[in-house]
């Protein structure tokens, strides 16, 4: 299996490598919160000797309601992410939504992320792959809730064709649609995607979503089962995941997006300590 590297950060993900932590905020709220969250998570990962990538979205383009908070937008969001990168000294991950965003994002972002709903959008995948490859970064693709794990091979093929055969794809498991307003994670899918020669991460935060089922808003937003995040993260790491994707907030109930699915920031280090230990056991098995 391939081991992929972000050489400028001395970070590697894949077989035989440490568990990579992709973590941060669901969406950028303001620069101060982004900086504080990044510093907290970086310090925790340094104590645990885990590689860390800070994640935050500049836009949440698939909100349930047109009136829901989406984020600061591309220009202001990139400025915040660059501030985190420069001041905290960490690699950056964020979502892309349109092909025209690829160039500007690749100038700042190290791990460019294709949202699950958009993983089959050829123009977006090709533009993202070419831009981030040229910039020396990696592409993090979330497997759609509608795809079988083995069908991710078509995503990997598109990226290779777009980049002249470059190995830059990290696949992400985030659950599959299971009836109405529910998701389920098949842990066997992690191994199936690793057979494609790509590192695989688990998005434990979005895997506990209840799409369109937040009782607080009468279904005008997505609900979640925060208590399930650690359960899914632990199970996925034992099942062979090479990295974890987790979202935190100092006060999750006041988060401007997906609060029911994110974890309190002060609980990050204990959970990451557990996940590191489980990853080491799985790697030695």
Q: Which pLDDT score is estimated for 250?
A: 95
**Every domain of the chain and the residues it spans:** 3-284
Q: Which pLDDT score is estimated for 1?
A: 56
Q: Which pLDDT score is estimated for 122?
A: 97
The topology (CATH level 3) of 3-284 is TIM Barrel (3.20.20)
Q: Which pLDDT score is estimated for 83?
A: 98
Residue 188, Cβ density class (10 Å: 0-12 exposed, 13-18 middle, ≥19 buried): exposed
Q: Which pLDDT score is estimated for 213?
A: 47
Q: Is 60 a catalytic residue?
A: yes
Q: Taking Cα atoms as reference points, which of 185, 25, 165 lies closest to residue 95?
A: 25
Q: For residue 102, give Cα distances in angstroms to 19, 50, 124.
A: 27, 28, 8
Alpha-helical (H) ranges within 25-150 are 31-48, 74-88, 102-106, 122-134
Contacts of 74 (CB under 8 A, 6+ apart): 58, 59, 101, 104, 105
Tell me how far apart the alpha carbons of residues 109 and 241 are, in angstroms, rounded to a whole number: 23
> Phi-psi bin for 235: left (phi > 0), alpha (psi -120 to 50), beta?
alpha
* Catalytic one of 42, 55, 59, 60: 60
Match 């910039």 to its residue by tokens. Answer: 135
Q: Which pLDDT score is estimated for 221?
A: 46
* Catalytic one of 26, 95, 142, 194: 26
- Give the chain's residues under pLDDT 50: 213, 217, 219-221
Q: Which pLDDT score is estimated for 220?
A: 45
Q: For residue 232, give Cα distances in angstroms to 136, 175, 201, 271.
A: 31, 10, 12, 12
Q: Is 242 a catalytic residue?
A: no
Structure tokens at 68: 């829901």
Tell me how far apart the alpha carbons of residues 231 and 2 are, in angstroms, rounded to a whole number: 27
Q: Is 181 a catalytic residue?
A: no
* Catalytic one of 59, 95, 110, 258: 258
DSSP 259: G
């Amino acid at each position: 299996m391939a081991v992929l590297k972000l050489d400028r950060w001395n970070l590697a993900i894949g077989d035989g490598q440490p568990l990579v932590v992709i973590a941060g905020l669901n969406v950028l709220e303001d620069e101060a919160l982004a900086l504080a969250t990044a510093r907290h998570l970086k310090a925790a990962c340094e104590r645990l000797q885990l590689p860390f990538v800070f994640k935050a979205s500049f836009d949440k383009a698939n909100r349930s309601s047109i009136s829901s908070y989406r984020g600061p937008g591309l220009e202001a969001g990139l400025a915040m992410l660059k501030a985190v990168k420069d001041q905290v000294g960490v690699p950056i991950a964020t979502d892309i939504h349109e092909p025209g965003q690829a160039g500007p994002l690749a100038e700042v972002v190290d791990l460019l992320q294709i949202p699950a709903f958009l993983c089959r959008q050829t123009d977006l995948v090709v533009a993202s792959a070419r831009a981030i490859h040229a910039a020396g970064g990696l592409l993090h693709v979330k497997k759609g809730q509608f795809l079988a794990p083995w069908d991710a091979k078509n995503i990997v093929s598109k990226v290779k064709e777009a980049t002249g055969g470059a190995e830059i794809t990290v696949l992400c498991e985030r659950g599959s649609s299971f009836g109405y307003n529910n998701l389920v994670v098949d842990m066997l899918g992690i191994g199936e995607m690793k057979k494609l020669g790509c590192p695989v991460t688990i998005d434990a935060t979005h895997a506990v979503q209840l799409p369109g089922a937040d009782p607080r808003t009468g279904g005008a937003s997505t609900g979640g089962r925060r208590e399930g995040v650690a359960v899914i993260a632990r199970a996925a790491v034992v099942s062979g995941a090479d990295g974890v994707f987790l979202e935190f907030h100092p006060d999750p109930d006041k988060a401007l997006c997906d609060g029911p699915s994110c974890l309190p920031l002060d609980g990050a280090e204990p959970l990451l300590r557990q996940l590191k230990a489980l990853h080491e056991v799985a790697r030695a098995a």
